[in-house]
Amino acid sequence: MRLGSKADLLKCLEREDESPEMSPPVEVSIIDGAAIVQSLDPNRSDKRVLTFSDYALKLVLPYISKQLMSVDRIDVVWDTYRPDSLKVHTRHSRGTGDKIRVNGSTRIPANWKSFLRVDENKTILYEFLATQISLLKTPPGIVVLTIVFFQNSKSDNRTHS
């Protein structure tokens, strides 16, 4: 297996042209839920985030709400972690952390990156966040769809307004 960096791919995709002056209107935005979690580190936030409920209410939901300002629909897609995937070797080489029970009242771990090294932690966190996002109050006509697929089941959380 050949390992590399996703950032290396950007060099191939960059254009030397200038971007068009007008971009077409966007009706639907598809958001990588795992990317949200990686970018919104609760321990580096300027907001006081003590529990996973705080994390959802103070960081994730405001992020989604801000994205809703420019589209009519958002689909949040979450990663799945299959034990038979090719990425297992890469994830294991990064090390592991402690398994933590995720629910609204659970305190945010001091080492967020270590917490995210455990696939079970991420899977449970993604399901928790998908549920929280599905409870988001949206203006009439706005749709937020979040789906989490698991190996043997499917959890489908939707918000329609």
Mean of pLDDT values over 41-64: 95
In a domain, 12, yes or no: no
In a domain, 59, yes or no: yes
With bands split at pLDDT 50, 70 and 90, how would you rate the model's confidence at 64? very high
In a domain, 138, yes or no: yes
In a domain, 15, yes or no: no
Which tokens in the block code for residue 150?
């698991």
What integer pLDDT is reported at residue 117 of this predicted model? 86
Strand partners, 148: 155
Q: What domain range includes position 74?
A: 25-160
In a domain, 77, yes or no: yes
Q: Is 129 helix (H, G, I), strand (E, B) or coil?
A: helix
What integer pLDDT is reported at residue 20 of this predicted model? 58
Q: How many domains does the chain have?
A: 1
- pTM of the predicted structure, to 2 decimals: 0.73
Q: What is the pLDDT of residues 143-152, one digit of tens each?
A: 787 766 554 4
Residue 126 has pLDDT above 70, yes or no: yes
CB 52 within 8 Å of CB 106: yes
Other CB atoms within 10 A of residue 55 CB: 27
What does DSSP assign to residue 60?
A: I
Token pair 């809703």: residue:
68
